Amino acid sequence: MTKRAGMEIAFAAAEAVALCKPDVVAAYPITPNTHIPEHLSDIVADGRIDAEFICVESEHSALSACCGASATGARTFTATSSQGLLFMGEVMPIVSAMRLPVVMAIGNRALSAPINIWNDHSDIMSQRDMGWISIFASNGQEVVDMAIQAFKIAEHREVLLPLNINLDGFQLTHMVEPILFPDQAEVDRFLPEYKPYATLHPDKVLSMGTLGMPEIFTEAMKAKDVALINSKKIILQVWKEWEEQFGRMYEPIEAYKTEGADMLLLTMGSMGDTAEVAIDELRKRKVSAGLLRLKLWRPFPIEELRNAVKGAKVLAVMDRAVSFGGSAAPVGAEIRAALYGEPDRPLIINEIIGLGGRDVTVGDFIQIVEKAAQAEKEKPEEAYEIYGVRGS
């Protein structure tokens, strides 16, 4: 039986992972993800799941240990944030190239300096091109659902790629929400046992992680790219199966009151729930605005995006990271590129907001929609703006 419980989202994430019966968990403490592995270690200590919990001495070793464990055929989980994700950086592209379905929760946090433990998306954006499936949750229920979906997607024989679930540090990790938990039997029905494609074992000797010369490297990169692009089909399939079994629908881009809307906001992560309230308010004021929540960051849902923005006049893309000296912020630049060839594309403005834990309020989104309306009249010169800079 599904049960409803009020729980801190980090704890809920750990409970969801436990329902998936991981074999090996390796993690290193860093705020704000820490409650996830902490609670998992509780679950292991209480014997609720049979898993090896490795208290590694660094994030680099956390992902390295996951890489080794996954290579033996173990279901493997880790979690981190910020500098910890950077420290894992060396191992990130190796895990994906070796097609090891490690699942990782990222409690998104700003990168130093100045040191700051609060939320933005600069950690994951630095790891954008590592070949991982990358999914953003906007609330606790999504975190729980996505954590269970994650293993099924990553371990699918046609995918075999690592996957990260992004949940905003503090705004999500430390928030208490009412969450629906499926019971063990339901999860067992949804999630099959991991059947690895190749494992490290003397009964079938093989070499993993060999040297690729220029003659083979391009082909290896092509194969990785194709694998990530093709994973979308399975992601959609797993989401469909989830909806059929649990009744909650997941889409790469979720639309809210976008029909006939002139202005669209596009958000990732927890900002989506705040933006929804802003859209309700704007609709009350007869402003023609809607919201797109981008949930699937990699593989990037190009087709879904093109369909979602059809008919809109202005698209305001929110970014929670800066691409210093770049043409726009990461999401803004991506979306501009994806829509460049569209004959009737909307005007795109790119707002960088909520850096290092700065609050993002309903009022901010209302202001940004006003900016969007203004932009439609007088095309802005700047490709992007860092929103709300004090003293400017």
Partner 1 sequence: MSIIVENFDLYAPRLVDKEEYFSAGHRACQGCGEALAIRLMCKALGKDTVIVNATGCMEVVSSLYPTTAWKLPWLHVAFPNAASVGSGVEAGLKVLRRKGRIADRDIKTVSIGGDGGTVDIGLQALSGAMERGHDLLYVCFDNEAYMNTGIQRSGATPFGASTTTEPAGSASFGKKAWKKNVAEIMVAHNVPYVATACHSYPLDFMNKVKKAVKVKGPSYIHCLSVCPTGWRLPPEQCIKAGRMAVQTGIFPLYEVEDGKYRMTIETRELRPVEEYLKLQGRFRHLSEDEKKVIQERVNQEYKKLMNKVECLPSWSDLKE
Please provide the distance, in angstroms rounded to a whole number, between the alpha carbons at the two ends of the chain.
Answer: 54
Which tokens hold the place of 306? 């093109």
Residue by residue, DSSP assigns 236-293 as HHHHHHHHHHH-----SEEEES-TT-SEEEEE-TTHHHHHHHHHHHHHHTT--EEEEE
- Considering only residues 283 to 342 of the shown chain, the ones binding partner 1 according to CB under 8 A are none
- Considering only residues 209 to 238 of the shown chain, the ones binding partner 1 according to CB under 8 A are 209-213, 216
Of the listed pieces 129-137, 206-214, 226-234, 372-380, which binds partner 1 according to CB under 8 A?
206-214
180-216 CB burial, b ≥16 within 10 A, e <16: bbbeeebbeebbeebebeeebeeeeeeeeeeeeeeee
Could you tell me the smallest distance in angstroms from the CB atom of residue 190 to partner 1? 20
- Pick from 47, 185, 205, 325: which binds partner 1 (CB under 8 A)? 205
- Pick from 207, 259, 382, 392: which binds partner 1 (CB under 8 A)? 207
Q: Taking CB under 8 A as the rule, does residue 1 contact partner 1?
A: no
Please give the Cα distance from 293 to 136 (Å, whole number): 9
Are the C-beta atoms of residues 94 and 66 closer than 8 Å to each other?
A: no
Q: Which is nearer to partner 1, 48 or 310 (CB)?
A: 48
Question: How many residues in total does the chain contain?
Answer: 392
Rounded to 5 degrees, what angle do the CA atoms 306, 307, 311 make?
Answer: 95
Could you tell me the smallest distance in angstroms from the CB atom of residue 278 to partner 1? 45
- Which positions ≥6 away from 205 have C-beta within 8 Å? none
Could you tell me the smallest distance in angstroms from the CB atom of residue 24 to partner 1? 5
Angle at which helix 362-377 crosses helix 271-284, to 10 degrees, equals 60
Please give the Cα distance from 182 to 19 (Å, whole number): 9
- Considering only residues 182 to 201 of the shown chain, the ones binding partner 1 according to CB under 8 A are 199-201
Of the listed pieces 32-40, 89-97, 277-285, 382-390, which binds partner 1 according to CB under 8 A?
89-97
Please give the Cα distance from 388 to 392 (Å, whole number): 8
What are the beta bridge partners of residue 103?
A: 77, 163
Q: Which is nearer to partner 1, 70 or 81 (CB)?
A: 70
Q: Which is nearer to partner 1, 70 or 134 (CB)?
A: 70
Are the C-beta atoms of residues 306 and 257 closer than 8 Å to each other?
A: no
Could you tell me the smallest distance in angstroms from the CB atom of residue 31 to partner 1? 21
- Pick from 45, 46, 206, 392: which binds partner 1 (CB under 8 A)? 206
Sketch the per residue contact string, 342 through 371, with partner 1: x for CB under 8 A, - otherwise.
Answer: ------------------------------
Could you tell me the smallest distance in angstroms from the CB atom of residue 131 to partner 1? 15
- Considering only residues 49 to 78 of the shown chain, the ones binding partner 1 according to CB under 8 A are 50-52, 54-58, 60-62, 64-74, 76
Please give the Cα distance from 52 to 71 (Å, whole number): 15
Q: Which is nearer to partner 1, 56 or 277 (CB)?
A: 56
Could you tell me the smallest distance in angstroms from the CB atom of residue 217 to partner 1? 9
Q: Which is nearer to partner 1, 100 or 348 (CB)?
A: 100
What is the contact surface with partner 1 in residues (CB under 8 A)? 23-24, 26, 50-52, 54-58, 60-62, 64-74, 76, 90-91, 94, 98, 199-213, 216
